[in-house]
Amino acid sequence: MRAAIIERPGQVTVQEVPDPQSAADEVVVAVALAGLCGTDLHIYAGEVNYVYPIIPGHEVVGTIMEVGEDVEDLSPGMRITFDPNVPCGQCHFCRRSRFNHCLNWQGIGVTRHGGFAERVAVPAKVVYPIGDLPFERAAFIEPLSCVVYGLQRATPALGDRVLIFGAGPIGLLLLQAVRRAGGAYVVVTDVQQGRLQLAASLGADRTVVADEDQTAALRAGAPMGYDVVIDATGVPSVVAGCMDYVTPGGKALFFGVCPEDATIPFSPFELYRRDISVYGSFALNRTFGPAIELLRGGAVDVKPLLSHRFPLERFPHALEIARTRSEPAMKILIQPTG
């Protein structure tokens, strides 16, 4: 089959590789679409100790081609997606249902071959059938699952005022999910005007261009502060400013992925004085179910978030666009088959 392989940091090729075989408890999937995301850029950049060579791709939808002999309830022809996080089920954290912190964690497209390929073999236990949900929508299940997990952590309540920094694909998923979760008044800020127009069309009550004058406009949206402030930028200087907008008794959710060595100035007195709660949100934890429902019912609209679609052979080009932002991009999908 054809596959995109990151041989080592900074080197990517599309080449012929052996077809994956399914172990007894696995299925082989013909990949219809696979979404490109920040994690793939981190693997390409070699920022953490990843394993190489690796076929990346963890936001994957497709059709089952073959099933291992021990697999029940799944059969060839089924349209599916899979949770790329494969927990061991036995370790300290798995036994406490914190599967995203599994000590023996395997990530499809991260520690084992993923979906930027014509086929991928995955454990049956992480497979989710999607019925007739269109692949273009289903490709957003994994990122939306991360969003659902983040909101399960920070739990916005009915009637809350919410401020979201960042209107990329994740920020716009957060916006829509927050509205469904009870957010009464949601403000979105970003440096790109085009993204803010999308935010407005997807239900933001107010959009604010992120510039040196943003403070007054953001404060005008909630003079007493916001009940929940979410960072979806991963930019340390932006994260540092989040806390200023949290109302006494409110919450801050650090959703964007900052560089590993970044630090921010921070006042423990302010946290104490204003009763602020701060939440991290790492990946997802058994949240594929709600994400599928949100997409199936149309509660979350992902069509406007899709900017590019490339055949597998153009994976290096797609990676380049995502990496250098040489042209405006939202979600980029790779289409290995069909």
Nearer to Zn ion, 17 or 91 (CB): 91
Would you call 4 exposed, middle or buried from its count of C-beta atoms within 10 A (0-12, 13-18, 19+)?
buried
Query: Which of 23, 74, 88, 191 lies at the binding interface for Zn ion (CB under 5 A)?
Result: 88
For residues 122 and 161, what is the distance between their CA atoms, to the nearest angstrom? 41
For residue 336, give both structure tokens.
């290995």
For residues 190 and 175, what is the distance between their CA atoms, to the nearest angstrom? 13
Site string for Zn ion, 37-66 (x = CB under 5 A): x-x---------------------------
For residues 273 and 323, what is the distance between their CA atoms, to the nearest angstrom? 41
Give min distance, CB of 115 to Zn ion, in A. 11
- Considering only the stretches 1-9, 19-27, 47-55, 93-101, report the one whose residues sit in contact with Zn ion under the rule CB under 5 A: 93-101
Nearer to Zn ion, 150 or 241 (CB): 150
Query: Which of 5, 28, 54, 94 lies at the binding interface for Zn ion (CB under 5 A)?
Result: 94
For residues 249 and 271, what is the distance between their CA atoms, to the nearest angstrom? 10
Give min distance, CB of 134 to Zn ion, in A. 19
243 in contact with Zn ion (CB under 5 A) = no
Compute how many residues bind Zn ion; rule: CB under 5 A: 7
34 in contact with Zn ion (CB under 5 A) = no
Site string for Zn ion, 269-298 (x = CB under 5 A): ------------------------------
Give min distance, CB of 326 to Zn ion, in A. 21
- Considering only the stretches 95-103, 132-140, 149-157, 188-196, report the one whose residues sit in contact with Zn ion under the rule CB under 5 A: 95-103
102 in contact with Zn ion (CB under 5 A) = yes
**Contact (CB, 8 A) for 188 and 175:** yes
3 in contact with Zn ion (CB under 5 A) = no
Map 174-225 to HEC letters.
HHHHHHHCCCCEEEEEECCHHHHHHHHHCCCCEEEECCCCHHHHHHHCCCCC
91 in contact with Zn ion (CB under 5 A) = yes
Which residues, at least 6 apart from 18, have a Cβ–Cβ distance to it below 8 Å?
A: 1
> Closest Cα to residue 313, out of 117, 42, 44?
117
> Closest Cα to residue 47, out of 11, 14, 84, 10?
10
> Which residues of this protein are in contact with Zn ion, per CB under 5 A?
37, 39, 87-88, 91, 94, 102
